């Protein structure tokens, strides 16, 4: 009996998606749980798995199609598929499995224009995994990679010097929302700088002990998130939003953390960040970042944020004016840490400094409030005992 594979529920307010990559073809033998296709929604990309082992008799969609919830994607006839031990000694051509890369590996291969024949898969029966692709990329000579990339972009004729690709649904949504934020909010940015000496010293002192106890590295995001939560308690307007002619003030802090992926910027949310420890914040950021990079974030992971932190410093940005993540009224921009000469107690010393920027909706947040908020974040970071004592 043929079993239908349909578009699953895509999350609150999401009714349609675009078919991205198709991992299977008509007639293929599949195992339960293998990815059939990738669906791109306005918020996240998800893989639709095959529910049972068997043979795909018909795939009704193709890349680029727009589908809605419960649309029919494919039919699969349930059949018994041998496990690894049943076929471990069988000739390769007799094994009823597909040797193409895993979905996450396929994305990296396509994005980097790699040849799978040069790779050695470490997965079951030689399947190429994401780790295999990353290893291949790391072994390539950087100059050769750049030359190859330039050649693929420039081509050998005029017609080969341009490439036209479809904008993903996620990228379309990012573009639309960022422009809407500029058109709707009265955005303004204020700047300050923070001396990172104490935080760096504290981090270096307890880094190994922290990782041993909590199983996660001690980064800067835990300190920044906690510092923001403390400042939001004093300046609640930056944790609020405008809803028509009303203002919604929140007594909790769901902090969005901007994460860059190969498909665009996503903002997973650390819920109740004001109520959990720095260790728990670091664990949650690590979990969400890993899901984002693997394309496995759920809709729920990115909902209900009340304030956002973005860190352009990891890419070398010295200063920026971040755009609001509507309908939020504030976003904090972190930047690169640079040693600079500073005047301290009448002497010039070298300190690790970071510029901070907070963009805010001037319809809701006054300039004095925005400046005070940023000063509090600065004070919390330069004197981290304030975070411990809740001052």
Catalytic residues: 362, 366
DSSP symbol at 61: -
Give the three-class secondary structure for 82. coil
**199 closest CA partner among 224, 233, 176:** 224
Contact 154, 139 (CB under 8 A): no
What is the C-alpha separation between 210 and 251, in angstroms, rounded?
30
- The single residue listed with the structure tokens 């004093």 is 234
Count how many Cα atoms sit within 13 Å of the Cα of residue 8 in the half-sphere of its side chain.
Answer: 16
What is the C-alpha separation between 107 and 122, in angstroms, rounded?
17
Tokens representing 305 are: 């944020």
Residue 338 phi, psi dihedral angles, 5° rounding: -130, 140
What is the C-alpha separation between 198 and 383, in angstroms, rounded?
7
Contact 216, 281 (CB under 8 A): no
Q: Which long-range contacts (CB under 8 A, 24 or more apart) does 103-108 make?
A: 103/21, 103/23, 103/35, 103/38, 103/47, 103/295, 104/129, 104/130, 104/294, 104/295, 105/129, 105/130, 105/132, 105/133, 106/21, 106/23, 107/21, 107/262, 107/295, 108/133, 108/134, 108/137, 108/262
Contact 193, 342 (CB under 8 A): no
**271 closest CA partner among 310, 236, 305:** 305
Helix, strand, coil tally for the chain in percent (to 5) = 35, 25, 35
Give me the sign of the Cα torsion angle 287, 376, 362, 182: negative
């Amino acid at each position: 009996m043929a079993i239908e594979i349909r578009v699953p529920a895509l999350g609150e307010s999401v009714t349609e998606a675009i078919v991205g990559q198709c991992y299977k073809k008509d007639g293929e033998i599949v195992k339960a749980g293998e990815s059939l296709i990738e669906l791109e929604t306005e918020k996240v990309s998800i893989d639709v798995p095959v529910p049972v082992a068997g043979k795909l008799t018909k795939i009704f969609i193709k890349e680029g199609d727009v589908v809605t919830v419960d649309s029919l994607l494919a039919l699969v006839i349930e059949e018994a598929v041998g496990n690894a031990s049943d076929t471990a000694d069988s000739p390769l051509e007799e094994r009823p499995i597909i040797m193409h890369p895993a979905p996450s590996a396929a994305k990296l291969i396509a994005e980097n224009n790699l040849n799978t024949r040069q790779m050695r898969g470490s997965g079951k029966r030689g399947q190429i995994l994401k780790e295999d692709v990353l290893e291949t990329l790391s072994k390539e000579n950087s100059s050769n990679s750049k030359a190859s990339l330039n050649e693929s972009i420039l081509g050998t004729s005029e017609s080969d010097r341009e490439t036209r690709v479809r904008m993903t649904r996620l990228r379309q949504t990012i573009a639309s929302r960022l422009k809407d934020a500029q058109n709707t909010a009265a955005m303004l940015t204020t700047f300050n700088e923070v001396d990172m000496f104490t935080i760096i010293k504290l981090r270096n002192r307890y880094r190994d002990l922290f990782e041993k106890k909590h199983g996660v590295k001690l980064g800067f995001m835990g300190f920044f998130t906690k510092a923001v939560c403390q400042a939001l308690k004093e300046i609640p307007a930056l944790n609020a939003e405008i809803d028509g002619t009303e203002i919604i003030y929140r007594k909790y802090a769901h902090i969005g953390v901007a994460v860059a992926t190969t498909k665009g910027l996503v903002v997973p949310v650390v819920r109740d960040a004001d109520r959990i420890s720095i260790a728990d914040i670091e664990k949650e950021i690590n979990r969400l970042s890993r899901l984002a990079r693997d394309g496995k974030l759920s809709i729920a992971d990115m909902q209900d944020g009340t304030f956002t932190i973005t860190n352009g410093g990891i890419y070398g940005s010295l200063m920026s004016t971040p755009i609001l993540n509507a309908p939020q009224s504030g976003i904090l921009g972190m930047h690169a840490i640079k040693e600079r000469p500073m005047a301290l107690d009448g002497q010039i010393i070298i300190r690790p400094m970071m510029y901070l920027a907070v963009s805010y909706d001037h319809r809701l947040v006054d300039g004095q409030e925005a400046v005070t908020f940023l000063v509090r974040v600065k004070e919390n970071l330069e004197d981290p005992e304030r975070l411990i004592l809740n001052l």
